[in-house]
Amino acid sequence: MKIDVNGIRYHVETAGEGEPLLLLHGFTGSGVDWCPLKKEWGDDFKLIMVDLIGHGNTDHPEDIEQYSMEETAGALDQIMADLKIESAYVLGYSLGGRVALSFAMMYPRRVKHLVLESSSPGLQTAEERNARRHNDERLAKRIEKDGIRTFVDFWEAISLFSTQKDQLSESERKALREKRLHNSEVGLANSLRGMGTGVQRSWWDRLSDFTIPTTLIVGALDQKFYRIAEDMMQKLPNGKMVVVEEAGHTTHLEQPAQFAKIVEDELHNRKDV
């Protein structure tokens, strides 16, 4: 279905029965990324799979301001209102995790329990954010200049996804590539400019006051985000960290059965809290 939010048509798919679970994909992804987990969760949750702005079948406008975290969180609030959902469990992966945390910070009444997979609260210092902004701008220009196919070649080869070569079959990697290629140059470039780690607000200083139950899922082989999760756990008063063995950054792809069980167990355990 399409849901109009301030002139932007968001593509939203729903599946399953039960309590609502809002699913937010990573950079270059879309709501389709969660489809393999429908059979695992569809009997217990109503899955709400949103294509974030600039991704999948959601619009990819030229106006960078429409890609900001504030605008994106506001769009999710409106989508939930249109679907007549008061509050939901929220799960976000990587970029989707940063969106999920921002949404929970800005609209806490909407979030029952937050699950962040391989994600972060942003960058802690102005110097880090400034450097990242410059890097993201270079990457955005590269996408616009070289095109989506050349960019996906580059993106697939970065070290963050190196474990996929061992953990995913050739057919799974091919399917993932096809989904990435479905995106547009302007959508991905403006996503970097509008909601990249360098431009979003850092939430590190708010974590100690963040009381919504939060589960951090990280792959044991993803050293960078493993360390970030450990640092987050030092601040979160109601947080839990779960490590997935033999997985890197994309735990939901590399160890889907284990990932699905972790999410179910975490959400079920909190239902009566």
Q: Where are the alpha helices (DSSP H) in 147-210?
A: 148-156, 164-167, 170-181, 185-195
Q: What is the mean pLDDT of residues 257-271?
A: 87
What is the per-residue pLDDT for 273?
A: 42
Q: Where are the alpha helices (DSSP H) in the chain?
A: 38-41, 69-82, 95-106, 126-146, 148-156, 164-167, 170-181, 185-195, 223-233, 251-254, 256-270
What is the per-residue pLDDT for 83?
A: 96
Domains of the chain, earliest start first: 2-270 (3.40.50.1820)
pTM to 2 decimal places: 0.94
Structure tokens at 84: 């007549």
pLDDT grade for 155, boundaries at 50, 70 and 90: very high
| Tens-place pLDDT, residues 175-194 | 999 999 999 999 999 999 99
What is the per-residue pLDDT for 43?
A: 85
| Tens-place pLDDT, residues 31-56 | 999 988 988 898 899 999 999 999 99
What is the per-residue pLDDT for 40?
A: 87
What is the per-residue pLDDT for 270?
A: 56
CA distances, 262 to each of 9, 70, 221, 222 (Å): 33, 30, 17, 17
Question: 70 pLDDT exceeds 70?
Answer: yes
Q: What is the mean pLDDT of residues 76-98?
A: 97
52, 53, 57, 60: CA torsion to nearest 10: -160
CB 102 within 8 A of CB 74: no
| Tens-place pLDDT, residues 109-128 | 999 999 999 999 999 999 99
| Parallel, antiparallel or unpaired: strands 2-5 and 19-24 | unpaired
Give percent above pLDDT 70 in the chain.
99
